[in-house]
Amino acid sequence: MAVNGRTPLIAGNWKMNLDHLQAVAFVQKLHWALKDAKHEDDSVEVAVFPPFTDLRTVQTLIDADKIPFAFGAQDLSTHDSGAYTGEISGAFLSKLQCGYVIIGHSERRQYHHETDEVVAAKVQAALRHGLVPVICVGETLEQREESGPTAVSVAQLEVALEGVPASADIVVAYEPVWAIGTGQVASPEQAQEVCAALRAVLADKLDADAAARTRILYGGSVKSSNVASFMREPDVDGALVGGASLVVDEFAAIIRYQKHVGV
């Protein structure tokens, strides 16, 4: 448990990597890599976000072997059912015992033209089905130069939280687009500046309890060598990890290292 009462969350976004057979091997190896006394405690929550086609397999494995990882999907439909070919309902994810769903990842915004309004509708869909939305926000380099470091993320979060109950369980991920998959990591101070601004949005939109318990993650080229520097920042409560979450030893080191520094 962190000093601020929020359990750090280390989340691995697999994107379109690892099929369901590879997922089994990965989850088992990660579990073994972390299987020491410390892993059984509650000092950090580990979550994996496999492709849709892996979810049933991952759920069965985690359930059968009592593996202490949470898991979730990388996206969901704004609709609950019906003639929406190729879409996945939050109801289905909920039945698979997904705890979380990533919403508004910059790759969805960029390649699938998801607007802030679509993101907001997906947040509503997640909450309707008892899923915790991991709401991704972040600016491009151009936007940072034009409107400063915080404006885009703050505006994206404000729209995403429209109509959300004040007591809602959510997670926010600050992912500067220029730092995703580029190796060009934000500095801890840059991450803190935006996460503090996002914390203020939470205080405005949610009730005091919900705002205080909501975790804000940093994402963008997180590795075992830099995770501790982010975790030391007061408004950073974890990491959303892409590339480095696909390498068992590296992801385990990210999880272990931040535990060892005792944040």
Token readout for 39 is 């892993």
The answer to whether residue 180 forms part of the interface with ligand PEP (CB under 6 A) is yes
Give whichever of 61 and 102 is closer to ligand PEP, judged by the CB atom: 102
Give the integer Cα–Cα distance in Å for 240 and 102: 10
Angle (deg, nearest 10), helices 151-160 and 116-128: 40
**Catalytic residue from among 45, 105, 139, 233:** 105
Restricting to residues 45-104, name those near ligand PEP by CB under 6 A. Answer: none
Interacting span for ligand PEP (CB under 6 A) from 34-42, 78-86, 114-122, 238-246: 238-246
Q: Quick one: which segment of 19-27, 69-77, 206-214, 215-223 binds ligand PEP (CB under 6 A)?
A: 215-223
Query: Is there a binding annotation on residue 225?
Result: no
Number of residues that bind ligand PEP (CB under 6 A): 13
Angle at 220 between CA 240 and CA 185, to 5 degrees: 140
CB of 247 to ligand PEP, least distance (A): 11
* Segment interacting with ligand PEP, rule: CB under 6 A, options 112-120, 121-129, 192-200, 220-228: 220-228
Looking at the Cβ atoms of 181 and 234, the one nearer to ligand PEP is 181
Which DSSP category does 131 fall into?
A: P
- The answer on whether 221 is annotated among ligand-binding residues is yes
Q: Does 87 qualify as catalytic in the annotation?
A: no
- Closest C-alpha among 179, 202, 158 to residue 6: 202
Q: Binding residue for ligand PEP (CB under 6 A) from 90, 133, 238, 242?
A: 242
- The CA distance from 48 to 51, in Å, is 10
Nearer of residues 201 and 222 to ligand PEP, judged by Cβ: 222
Residue 153 labelled as part of a binding site: no
Segment lying near ligand PEP (by CB under 6 A), choices 40-48, 144-152, 186-194, 237-245: 237-245
Strands 69-73 and 132-137: unpaired
Select from 72, 28, 31 the least CA-distant residue to 52: 72
Count Cα neighbours of 55 within 13 Å in the Cβ-side half-sphere.
24
Burial classification of residue 247, based on how many CB atoms lie within 10 Å of its CB (0-12 exposed, 13-18 middle, 19 or more buried): middle
Burial per residue of 5-17, b for 16 or more beta-carbon CB atoms within 10 angstroms, e otherwise: ebebbbbbbbbeb
Q: Let me know: does 110 contact 147? Beta carbons within 8 Å.
A: no
In the stretch 121-140, what mask flags binding to ligand PEP with x, by CB under 6 A?
--------------------
15 marked among binding-site residues = yes
13 is in an annotated binding site: yes
Q: Strands 171-174 and 215-219: what pairing?
A: parallel
Applying CB under 6 A, among 50, 194, 243, 254 the residue interacting with ligand PEP is 243
Catalytic site includes residue 250:
no
Residues that bind ligand PEP (CB under 6 A): 13, 175, 180-181, 219-222, 240-244
The residues that are catalytic are 105, 175
Binding residues for substrate: 13-15, 181, 221, 242-243
